[in-house]
């Protein structure tokens, strides 16, 4: 039923790439406390592919959370940089470019410069293999990685370079490659979170894993559009199975009014609305196990 | 024949010049906006604001924002700083959360302390703008 619904939704996205339409989304587990008395259907505009892609948050946000959680850097958790030679098809190259992108960001955040350079080489190889190497400023990033005191600039430039790659792919109507890069980046970021959480269970990480329900829904919306392309069907099936586990997770939204104040010329708004993720240890275990198997298939 | 060639050359030159004027080099403003992020905020995404010489009045992006995270938007445009540009954040139900046009001023930077993970809409509009061109940058910190 859900797959059928997603298919319809994805077809609508294609047909209405620039026309706004209203449609129901299967967000029955996302509820708002102010609406309990009078249940209403959650509606959202059907967005063009590019907009859905742009909505997906940077894996860097999760990587920063992992570091700030006090987690010790463990290179063994990430994909082996020398596995790059195993990726021969466009599908494998694109999804692993996303995975290595997250690993590169992770090494950057921890200031592991030598590892960052190794991952940078893998990223360059895959980007070249996809014909988008020209949009990745390898030399500048390598120079920044070799410098011990330019960490912020390094992270900034790496993020910007991935953005340039994705913008270029979309301009050249190669959104399918862009979707895979984003999917790979997301899989690796959430996988790393589950690994760290398995080692040292933590409510913050548990919450973050549960929160990914929203991002996964977005990802599947765009992946489904390319389901006839090589490699996509298996990935969609695997992520749909993961989505079924996520369907058990409820995100409760308690609506409140925002407050604002001006601090040193900067307007600061604190939201009064808050969300509560109702996720059980059993949900987390299932997600951890499924995500590991999905990642293993992708990285080989 | 020579006159026709010259006329075509002139028309081509004028067309090219006009196109160049109409173009919005948003990249330039991404760099400017990145420099305006307050210390502690990590660059996450950039947003191009190209009003195509006034033919596009509103440019909107969708984003997933996470709870317990502070987001900062910095904006800069061709009219100088945030002049002529307004950024507005809406939640999934299109409720307006924040607007950078505040007390009749164009604010170049604002911070949003997010407490609810979800889909948000970030829109950019123009007010008395002469150029319809700029960019914004999203930064985050935990």
Other CB atoms within 10 A of residue B39 CB: 6
- d(CA A115, nearest CA chain B) in Å: 21
Residue B112: pLDDT band by 50, 70, 90 thresholds?
very high
Q: A14-72 pLDDT, tens per residue?
A: 333 333 333 323 334 555 444 333 333 333 444 578 888 889 999 999 999 999 999 99
Higher pLDDT, B108 or A262: B108
- The token duo for A122 is 């893998």
- d(CA A86, nearest CA chain B) in Å: 30
Query: What's the confidence (pLDDT) of residue A51?
Result: 82
Tell me whether B33 touches chain A (CB under 8 Å): no
Query: What's the confidence (pLDDT) of residue A52?
Result: 84
Tell me whether A252 touches chain B (CB under 8 Å): no
Q: What is the mean pLDDT of residues B14-38?
A: 76
- d(CA B114, nearest CA chain A) in Å: 6
Q: Which of A42, A44, A266 sits opposite B111 (nearest CB)?
A: A266
N-to-C CA span, chain A: 31
Tell me whether A168 touches chain B (CB under 8 Å): no
Query: What's the confidence (pLDDT) of residue A50?
Result: 82
Q: At what angle do helices A281-299 and A232-246 cross, to 10 degrees?
A: 170
Q: Is A131 helix (H, G, I), strand (E, B) or coil?
A: coil
Chain A residues near residue B61 by CB distance under 8 angstroms? 51, 54-55
Query: What's the confidence (pLDDT) of residue A231?
Result: 92
Chain A residues near residue B111 by CB distance under 8 angstroms? 266-269
Query: What's the confidence (pLDDT) of residue B23?
Result: 85
Query: What's the confidence (pLDDT) of residue A147?
Result: 87
Query: What's the confidence (pLDDT) of residue B7?
Result: 58
Query: What's the confidence (pLDDT) of residue A36?
Result: 34
What DSSP string describes A219-287? HHHHHGGGTTSTTHHHHHHHHHHHHHHHTT-EEEEE----EEEEETTEEEEE-S-EEEEE--HHHHHHH
Query: What's the confidence (pLDDT) of residue B4?
Result: 59
Chain A residues near residue B74 by CB distance under 8 angstroms? none
Query: What's the confidence (pLDDT) of residue A48?
Result: 72
Q: At what angle do helices A175-199 and A60-68 cross, to 10 degrees?
A: 10
- With 0-12 / 13-18 / 19 or more C-beta atoms within 10 angstroms meaning exposed / middle / buried, residue A168 is middle
Interface touch A218/B115, C-beta < 8 Å? no
Least confident of A184-188, A262-266, B12-16, B136-140: B12-16
Give the Cα separation of A235 and A187 in Å (integer): 11
- d(CA B72, nearest CA chain A) in Å: 9
Q: Which domains does chain B have, with CATH numbers?
A: 22-141 (2.60.120.380)
Tell me whether A202 touches chain B (CB under 8 Å): no
Spans in chain A with pLDDT lower than 70: 1-47
Higher pLDDT, B139 or A14: B139
Least confident of A30-39, A245-254, B39-48, B94-103: A30-39
Q: What is the mean pLDDT of residues B94-117?
A: 95
Tell me whether A251 touches chain B (CB under 8 Å): yes
Tell me whether B117 touches chain A (CB under 8 Å): yes
- The token duo for A73 is 């850097």
pTM above 0.80, yes or no: yes
ipTM of the complex: 0.83
Q: Is B38 helix (H, G, I), strand (E, B) or coil?
A: coil
Q: Are A258 and A269 in contact (CB under 8 A)?
A: yes
Other CB atoms within 10 A of residue A268 CB: 18
Residue indicated by tokens 């690796």: A188
């Amino acid at each position: 039923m859900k797959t059928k619904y997603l298919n319809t939704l994805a077809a609508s996205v294609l047909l209405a790439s620039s026309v706004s339409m209203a449609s129901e989304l299967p967000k029955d587990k996302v509820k708002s406390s102010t609406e309990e008395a009078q249940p209403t259907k959650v509606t959202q505009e059907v967005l063009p592919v590019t907009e859905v892609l742009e909505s997906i948050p940077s894996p860097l946000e999760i990587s920063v959370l992992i570091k700030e959680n006090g987690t010790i850097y463990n290179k063994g958790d990430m994909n082996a940089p020398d596995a790059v030679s195993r990726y021969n098809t466009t599908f494998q190259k694109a999804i692993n470019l996303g995975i290595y992108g997250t690993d590169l960001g992770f090494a950057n955040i921890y200031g592991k410069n030598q590892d960052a350079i190794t991952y940078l080489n893998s990223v360059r190889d895959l980007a070249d293999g996809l014909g988008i190497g020209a949009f990745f400023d390898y030399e500048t990033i390598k120079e920044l990685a070799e410098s011990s005191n330019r960490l912020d600039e390094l992270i900034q430039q790496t993020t910007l370079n991935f953005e340039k790659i994705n913008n270029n792919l979309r301009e050249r109507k190669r959104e399918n490659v862009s979707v895979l890069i984003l999917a790979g980046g997301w899989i690796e970021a959430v996988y790393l979170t589950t690994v760290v959480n398995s080692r040292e269970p933590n409510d913050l990480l548990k919450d973050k894993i549960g929160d990914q329900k929203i991002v996964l829904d977005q990802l599947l919306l765009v992946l489904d559009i390319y389901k006839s392309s090589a490699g996509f069907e298996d990935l969609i099936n695997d992520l749909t199975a993961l989505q079924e586990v996520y369907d058990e997770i409820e995100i409760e939204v308690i609506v409140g009014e925002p407050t604002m104040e001006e601090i040193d010329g900067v307007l600061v708004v604190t939201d009064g609305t808050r969300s509560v993720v109702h996720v059980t240890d059993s949900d987390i275990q299932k997600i951890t196990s499924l995500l590991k198997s999905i990642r293993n298939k992708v990285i080989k | 024949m020579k006159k026709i060639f010259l006329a075509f050359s002139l028309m081509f030159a004028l067309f090219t010049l006009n196109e160049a004027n109409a173009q919005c080099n948003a990249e330039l403003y991404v760099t400017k906006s990145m420099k305006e992020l307050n210390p502690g905020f990590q660059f996450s995404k950039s947003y191009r604001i190209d009003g195509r010489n006034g033919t596009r009045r509103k440019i909107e992006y969708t984003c997933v924002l996470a709870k317990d995270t502070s987001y900062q938007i910095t904006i800069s445009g061709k009219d100088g700083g945030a002049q002529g540009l307004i950024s507005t954040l809406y939640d999934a139900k299109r409720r307006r959360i924040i607007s950078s046009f505040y007390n009749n001023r164009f604010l170049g930077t604002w911070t949003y302390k997010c407490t609810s993970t979800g889909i948000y809409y970030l829109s950019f509009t123009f007010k008395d703008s002469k150029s319809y061109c700029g960019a914004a940058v999203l930064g985050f910190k935990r």
